[in-house]
Amino acid sequence: MNLREKYNIPANTVITIAGTVGVGKSTMTNALAQALNFRTSFEKVDTNPYLDKFYDDFEKWSFHLQIYFLAERFKEQKRIFEYGGGFIQDRSIYEDTGIFAKMHYDKGTMSPVDYETYTNLFDAMVMTPYFPHPDLLIYLEGPIDDIIARIRERGREMEQQTPLDYWVEMHKRYEDWINNFNACPVLRLDINDYDLMENPAQIESIVERISYMLQQTSHLRK
């Protein structure tokens, strides 16, 4: 019996993993997908044609990058729907607008007119009754110093050149964002309470908590 069956997790469940850059979303996505025998939906960083340019010049490329991410995530949403669920998704679509687009607008690196065009498009595509929300959002959180250490350790060139203030600001915004998030149920995990790299078997206790949350919120999906 696999963990999905053991903990009664429906085969069509869709779980999205949220949290700031470097917190461990991809690592968690892989571990959970393997434990539950689910498919994965990843952000494609290496093939993103705007990401490097964006880190070089936020002002010039913010709008292009947000439109690109929106299109990519929407295509992934369609793929998940077509398979009938059973997915772990690395990063939620809600973070694009709630964190990234808003932060760049507030900081002046996305113009008001671009921000309005983007949020209008986002709301028309996503915040409608026709858009299926995930069954659960797992929010990964932890101290900023640990997260910066992970960004360094991963070593993506464009992220190394970005001022530390950028990650600090993002970390703060994430805390405010998650405290007000209500598009779907949320399970919060502190990265210092588990270590999937040192101890992969800990995934079972996370699956158990997921199962509990899904049972507590099952009335919302009927």
Ligand X SMILES: Nc1ncnc2c1ncn2[C@H]1C[C@H](O)[C@@H](COP(=O)(O)O)O1
Ligand Y SMILES: Nc1ncnc2c1ncn2[C@@H]1O[C@H](COP(=O)(O)OP(=O)(O)O)[C@@H](O)[C@H]1O
Residues tagged in the binding site annotation for substrate: 43, 55, 66, 91, 96, 159
Instruction: Round to whole Å and give the CA distance between 220 and 135.
Output: 9
Q: Which residues bind ligand X (CB under 6 A)?
A: 21-22, 25, 43, 45, 51, 65-66, 69, 91, 96, 100, 159
Structure tokens that stand for 139 in this block: 């929010």
Structure tokens that stand for 121 in this block: 């498009």
Helices 112-125 and 58-83, axial angle in degrees (round to 10): 0
Q: Which residues are catalytic?
A: 90
Nearer to ligand X, 51 or 80 (CB): 51
Nearer to ligand X, 14 or 110 (CB): 110
Residue 34: phi and psi, rounded to 5, are -65, -45
Binding site, by residue number, is 19-27, 43, 55, 66, 91, 96, 150-154, 159
The listed partner (ligand Y, ligand X, none) that binds 159, CB under 5 to 8 Å by sort, is ligand X
Q: In angstroms, what is the minimal distance from the CB of 42 to ligand Y?
A: 9
Q: In angstroms, what is the minimal distance from the CB of 151 to ligand X?
A: 8
Nearer to ligand Y, 101 or 196 (CB): 196
Q: Which helix (H) or strand (E) holds 145?
A: helix 144-154
Q: In angstroms, what is the minimal distance from the CB of 1 to ligand X?
A: 32
Nearer to ligand X, 9 or 51 (CB): 51
Structure tokens that stand for 82 in this block: 């077509």
The listed partner (ligand X, ligand Y, none) that binds 115, CB under 5 to 8 Å by sort, is none
The listed partner (ligand X, ligand Y, none) that binds 109, CB under 5 to 8 Å by sort, is none
Residue whose CB is nearest to ligand X in the complex, by number: 100
The listed partner (ligand Y, ligand X, none) that binds 124, CB under 5 to 8 Å by sort, is none
Q: Is 22 exposed, middle or buried (0-12, 13-18, 19+ CB in 10 A)?
A: buried
Q: Which residues bind ligand Y (CB under 6 A)?
A: 19, 21-27, 150, 153-154, 195-197
Q: In angstroms, what is the minimal distance from the CB of 135 to ligand X?
A: 21
Q: What does the angle CA 33 – CA 35 – CA 36 come to, to the nearest 5 degrees?
A: 65
- Which CA distances in Å does 195 have to 3, 117, 175, 178, 199? 18, 41, 21, 22, 6
Instruction: Round to whole Å and give the CA distance between 42 and 111.
Output: 28
